[in-house]
């Protein structure tokens, strides 16, 4: 019970998403054979945390009555989270002076994309899920292409497309689960804009695409650990999608859905233990 409450708090604070982004970034660095210092990875994690918390605070600010546990938490602790947000932004700003120029340039580009996302989000709410998914993927993959020389090489890997598809599945499942709450709170999410039926078809289509990518992964430069991790991530999300009665209760879908991005930690552990 204690650990469940602790993890729920970690989830509400988006700490699991932050750690998941860092683990996923290191995952792609390792399978690409690229060495990078810890500082950019830490900055990535902090930046992802800022984006997610800012997104949740905006949601909490613009709703009338909060119907989800997450929104209630962010409404109740709005000022504390806002102060923490600006404190982390200050840390990121100071740290930017101590990273390589190409990392700094990429960080500035990411900031511009984030600003564009929040502008578009205010006018086209239904792009929120896709926008946040693409930002997450861009942040995770950025350390692997920071020097520019490995950009095209990275995007020839099936693991990249599998990961992007998994992130899209994640946000679309969340939109599907939160349809009723979004309607009550007045959010124009993807599911609200296009309907639960269309969202279900979209998720099924993304799962079908994932199956094709994984099938391709069996024959294209097959590596056991990356395949098992991505397969496990997709399978966990499928379980969340197939059993809505269980995962709807107390927003369990979020706990498992967000934790899948921690799965790459296992490949790092396995690779270190491998003889």
- Please give the C-alpha separations between residue 181 and each of 2, 67, 260, in angstroms, as whole numbers: 27, 6, 23
pLDDT at 149: 55
**Residue-by-residue DSSP string for 71-124:** HHHHHHTHHHHHHHHHHHHHHHHHHGGGS-HHHHHHHHHHHHHHHHHHHHHHH-
What integer is the mean pLDDT of 86-112?
Answer: 78
Question: What is the distance between the alpha carbons of residues 212 and 218, in angstroms, rounded to a whole number?
Answer: 10
Q: What pTM, to 2 d.p., does this model score?
A: 0.88
Question: Are 29 and 151 spatial neighbours (Cβ–Cβ below 8 Å)?
Answer: no
Q: Residue 37: pLDDT above 50?
A: yes
Spatial contact of 91 and 151, defined as CB atoms under 8 Å apart: no
Over residues 247-253, mean pLDDT: 87
Mean pLDDT over the full length of the chain: 84
* Rounded Cα distance, 46 and 68, in Å: 25
Our measurement of the distance from residue 273's CA atom to the centroid of its chain's CA atoms, rounded to an integer in Å, reads: 27
Check residue 59 and give its pLDDT: 78
Instruction: Say if residues 121 and 62 touch (Cβ distance below 8 Å).
Output: no
**Confidence band for 233, pLDDT divided at 50, 70 and 90:** very high
Q: What percent of the chain has pLDDT over 70?
A: 88
pLDDT tens column, 118-160: 787 777 766 778 888 988 998 898 888 775 556 667 777 899 9
Sorted by where each begins, the domain ranges of the chain are 2-273
Q: Which residue has the tokens 């289509």?
A: 205
Rg for the chain, CA atoms, rounded: 18
Please say if the pLDDT value at position 238 is more than 80. Answer: yes
């Amino acid at each position: 019970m204690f650990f469940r409450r602790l993890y729920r708090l970690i989830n509400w604070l988006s700490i699991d998403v932050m750690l998941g982004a860092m683990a996923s970034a290191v995952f792609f660095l390792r399978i690409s054979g690229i060495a990078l210092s810890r500082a950019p990875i830490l900055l990535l994690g902090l930046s992802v945390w800022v984006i997610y918390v800012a997104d949740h605070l905006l949601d909490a600010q613009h709703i009338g009555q909060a119907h989800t546990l997450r929104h209630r938490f962010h409404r109740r602790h709005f000022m504390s989270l806002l102060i923490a947000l600006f404190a982390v932004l200050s840390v990121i700003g100071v740290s930017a002076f101590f990273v390589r120029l190409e990392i700094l340039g990429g960080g500035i580009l990411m900031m511009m994309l984030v600003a564009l996302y929040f502008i578009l989000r205010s006018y086209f709410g239904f792009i929120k899920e896709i926008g946040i998914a693409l930002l997450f993927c861009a942040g995770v993959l950025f350390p692997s292409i920071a020097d520019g020389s490995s950009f095209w090489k990275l995007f020839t890997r099936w693991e990249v497309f599998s990961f992007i598809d998994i992130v899209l599945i994640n946000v679309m499942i969340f939109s599907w689960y939160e349809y009723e709450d979004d309607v009550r709170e007045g959010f124009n999410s993807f599911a609200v804009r296009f309907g639960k039926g269309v969202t279900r078809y979209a998720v099924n289509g993304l799962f079908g695409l994932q199956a094709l990518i994984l099938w391709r992964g069996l024959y294209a430069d097959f590596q056991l650990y990356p395949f098992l991790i991505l397969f496990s991530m997709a399978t966990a999300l499928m379980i969340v999608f197939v059993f809505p009665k269980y995962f709807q209760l107390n927003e369990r879908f979020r706990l498992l859905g967000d934790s899948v991005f921690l799965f790459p930690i296992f490949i790092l552990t396995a690779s270190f233990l491998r003889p």
